[in-house]
Amino acid sequence: MSQIKLKFPENFLWGAATSAYQVEGGNKNNWSEWEKANAKRLTSETKKKWQKWQQEKFPEMFEEKNYISGRACDHYNRYEEDFDIAKQLGHNAHRFSIEWSRIEPEEGKFDEKEIEHYRKVLKALRARKIEPFVTLWHWTNPLWLKNGELNKKFPKYFSRYVKFVIEKLGDLNNFWITLNEPTSVIFSSYIQGAWPPQKRNPFKALCVYKNLAAAHNLTYSEIHRIAPQAKVGFSNIMIYIEPTHKWHLLEKLIVKISDYFSNRKFLKMTNGNNDFLAIQYYFHKKISFFGMNAEKNKNVSDLDWDISPEGIYPLLKSLKKYNLPIYITENGLADKEDKLRSAFIKEHLKWIHRAIAEKVDVRGYFYWSLLDNFEWDKGFWPRFGLVEINYETLERKIRPSAWEYKKIIEANGIIDESKS
Ligand code: BGC
């Protein structure tokens, strides 16, 4: 029985990602205020939101403190220890985000101490020979910015903050991600109305598309003006959407429209202003005449999200026409017991490899996430980490899948047993 080794390109970047609000602890921004105002409500909605097996497996979802980010993983103080772990796990790249509300706590007043903190974070990565990818906005806004991303001055304010950051940190970092998943915010805050500012209004959703695209385009030029060598992109969540019945014209039409708004519109609005494409893949949806239904495989994550590794392949293929380097800047699952994570990573990598073999220029993969962390409106119970966090003691414990991932990294490839 022969085994086929799937080799990845030389200098492929392997790592994991985090975001400031989810791991740092001690943040004060629009989300931290929202969580305080909403923790009680979120606790009381638990019974109707989650299935019985989830409620039984995660009783902490019934506690109000689950919905308060508080000190999170205390990564703000423990980043050295966490990067030691990343290094130990073989990572040669790491994605994290800078918290705008720390850098500019009051409008126009920039905090030198906080920028110094992120200089140290970048230096800590460089000292370990880990290539940083820095996200400048991972959904959180400073409190002074009224209406956040809906504010028509958002592009102006955001680019002023970015200018300050690049002037101070531009010498230490090459890869900048301006915005994390614009469409997740547009959908969850302005279509579903679940996230702050909980405004359900399609017109506002369109305004946010416009503001965020303008913010990206403005900062793209600004970053290049200050740091010509920098590589700039935004991270795009891509959902693989297909019709349940291939012959159903209406389903096909709904697929086209959903695919446009989810996966393509923002890319079009920023076309020409991306040095690379950053793709984040979690979901596969099947459209049926009656609406969007997640197709359920037998394997689902703790969040009951469908696991469909094959969906990443057509998405990657569809990006080939842009002729830009592609990085998978997030892909992961909530799996407290770590039963599915190794296979999850490996299966996704197989499909990514197939795209690479067909000349799609994928250059890196970042698992979400390095650490268990605070999962937005769901709080602490979903466990995405390669590293488990004990939120009482803040002890870090490396999960077995992290060692499996390390083997892949060391081999710069995977063994595909299915082809044997
Ligand atoms: C976000 C992360 C989040 C992850 C899992 C991504 O959409 O960028 O912040 O934790 O998905 O839900």
Looking up residue 38, the CATH number of its domain turns out to be 3.20.20.80
The mean pLDDT value for 156-175 works out to 98
Please name the helix (run of DSSP H) or strand (run of DSSP E) that holds residue 6, with its range, or none. strand 4-7
- Please write the tens of the pLDDT for every residue from 278-321: 999 999 999 987 655 545 566 899 999 999 999 999 999 999 99
**Ligand 1 atom 10: residue of nearest CA:** 375
SS3 288: strand
Domain of residue 341: give its range. 4-416
**Pocket of ligand 1 contains residue 150 by CB under 6 Å:** no
The verdict on the CB of residue 402 being under 6 Å from ligand 1 is no
**Percent of the chain scoring above 90 in pLDDT:** 93
What is the rounded distance in angstroms from the CA atom of residue 205 to the CA atom of residue 112?
34
Ligand 1 centre distance from Cα of residue 124 (Å): 24
Q: Give the residue from 183, 205, 152, 149 showing the smallest Cα distance to 29.
A: 149
Q: pLDDT tier at 37 (50, 70, 90 boundaries)?
A: very high
Which atom in ligand 1 lies closest to the alpha carbon of residue 334?
5
Kindly tell me if the per-residue pLDDT of 142 is higher than 50: yes
- Average pLDDT on 28-45 reads 98
Our mutation pick for probing the ligand 1 site, out of 330, 331, 371, 384, counting the most ligand atoms within 8 A of Cβ, is: 330
pTM here is: 0.97
Nearest CA to ligand 1 atom 3: 375
The average pLDDT across 95-107 equals: 98
Cis previous bond, 309, omega within 30: no
Three-state SS at 227: coil
Is the distance from the beta carbon of residue 236 to the nearest atom of ligand 1 less than 6 Å? no
Q: What angle do CA 175, 177, 182 make, to 5 degrees?
A: 165
Tell me the two tokens of residue 299: 């394997």
Tell me what pLDDT residue 415 has: 78
* Total of domains in the chain: 1
For residue 288, the model assigns a pLDDT of: 86
What is the mean pLDDT of the segment spanning 25-36?
Answer: 98
Q: What would the mean pLDDT of 330-336 be, rounded to a whole number?
A: 98
In the predicted structure, residue 358 carries a pLDDT above the cut 60: yes
pLDDT above 70 (res 369): yes
User: What does the pLDDT read at residue 299?
Assistant: 83
Distance (Å) from CA 2 to ligand 1 centroid? 38
58-79: pLDDT as tens digits: 999 999 999 999 999 999 999 9
Maximum CA pair distance of the chain?
Answer: 65
The position carrying tokens 């197709």 is: 295
Question: Residue 272: phi, psi to the nearest 5?
Answer: 95, -15
